[in-house]
């Protein structure tokens, strides 16, 4: 089971496939939005006027108009970066994401910045699940509040989504995640994909990762997970604030392609994955890119005012 990178499959080619017994599923993804509820100020040297939750919502609604069954996912670090988090502790971020219709998110290291009790306090404002399989909260007050994986049905397909978090040691004060056990991401990923494939018969397996795309030293990353797993089709990542446009396509342990996507930071971009399922078999194809969220014309040819 694998996905071929289809960066050139756009426009008329995509429409032609959709009319030939092929089901298309759109996946939108964000990461490292860091409490950037308002757009960047107009005097920002890099992202003047870009981002903001309102424009992201408009863009999501545009895509949802084309595909009401789309998936909307976030790869962590929802919190920390503007005074909204300092004053409200993450409540408005989760409330607004819920209104946007997010299907799932994973936990980034900055979700711990107000401690486990701070995260627990605002979690009820999220009407979507947090998935994380390698952060074990069994001995903490977060016990039972997260899921290792979820299974969703879209376009007649079973889609398994599991989460991987980065080691908080060295990134977060120990007092803020006390009792949390960090489990090896590669071992957990192998367990998760085996469960989703063999027990649940999922036809698409997605990893929501906050490990980071790559590192110079021998630290586990999305590239390492991809190379050491066999059935994960897509890794939607975060933490390193990497803009993968188009996303990377790398080989897994069976020499089959894995798509790795990440959309920068601050809500400036949103990732778009279009998955094409061929009816009657397990073949899948993907086209993918990121789109800027601004008050200027974006690359799909429409405006936000």
CA distance 230 to 285: 17
Q: CB–CB of 63/272 below 8 Å?
A: yes
CA distance 256 to 250: 8
pLDDT at 95: 98
pLDDT at 277: 86
CA distance 146 to 76: 13
Which structural domains are found in the chain, ordered by start?
3-292 (3.60.21.10)
Q: What is the pLDDT along the chain (305 residues), one digit of tens a residue?
A: 333 333 333 343 445 555 567 888 999 999 999 999 999 999 999 999 999 999 999 999 999 999 999 999 999 999 999 999 999 999 999 999 999 999 999 999 999 999 999 999 999 999 999 999 999 999 999 999 999 999 999 988 999 999 999 999 999 999 999 999 999 999 999 999 999 999 999 999 999 999 999 999 889 999 999 999 999 999 999 999 999 988 999 999 999 999 999 999 999 999 999 998 877 556 666 666 667 765 543 333 222 22
170 class by beta-carbon count within 10 Å (0-12 exposed, 13-18 middle, 19+ buried): exposed
pLDDT at 289: 63
Q: How many CB atoms lie within 10 A of CB 255?
A: 7
Closest CA to 156 of 267, 63, 23: 23
CA distance 207 to 200: 16
pLDDT at 22: 81
Which tokens sit at 268?
């400036």
Which tokens sit at 288?
């993918």
DSSP run (H or E) holding 162: strand 157-164
pLDDT at 301: 27
């Amino acid at each position: 089971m694998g996905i071929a990178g289809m960066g050139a499959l756009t426009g008329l080619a995509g429409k032609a496939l959709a009319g030939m017994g092929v089901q298309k599923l759109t996946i939108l993804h964000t990461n490292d939005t860091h409490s950037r509820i308002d757009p960047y100020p107009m005097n920002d040297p890099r992202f003047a006027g870009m981002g903001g939750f309102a424009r992201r919502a408009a863009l999501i609604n545009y895509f949802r108009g084309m595909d009401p069954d789309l998936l909307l996912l976030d790869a962590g670090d929802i919190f920390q970066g503007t005074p909204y988090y300092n004053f409200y502790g993450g409540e408005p971020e989760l409330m607004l994401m819920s209104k946007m219709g997010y299907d799932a998110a994973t936990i980034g290291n900055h979700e711990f910045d107000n401690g486990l009790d701070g995260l627990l306090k605002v979690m009820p404002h999220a009407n979507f699940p947090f998935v994380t399989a390698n952060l074990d909260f069994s001995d903490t007050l977060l016990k039972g509040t997260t899921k290792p994986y979820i299974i969703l049905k879209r376009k007649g397909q079973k889609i398994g989504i599991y989460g991987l978090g980065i080691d908080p040691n060295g990134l977060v004060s120990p007092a803020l995640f006390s009792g949390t056990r960090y489990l090896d991401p590669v071992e957990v990923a192998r367990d998760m994909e085996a469960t989703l494939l063999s027990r649940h018969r999922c036809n698409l397996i997605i990893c929501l990762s906050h490990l980071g795309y790559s590192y110079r030293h021998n630290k586990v990353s999305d590239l390492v997970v991809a190379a050491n797993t066999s059935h994960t089709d897509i890794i939607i990542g975060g933490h390193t604030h990497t803009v993968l446009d188009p996303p990377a396509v790398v080989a897994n342990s069976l020499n089959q392609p894995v798509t790795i996507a990440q959309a920068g930071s601050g809500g400036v971009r949103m990732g778009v994955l279009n998955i094409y399922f061929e009816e009657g078999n397990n073949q899948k194809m993907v086209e993918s890119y990121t789109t800027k969220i601004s008050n200027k014309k974006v690359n799909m040819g429409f405006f936000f005012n």
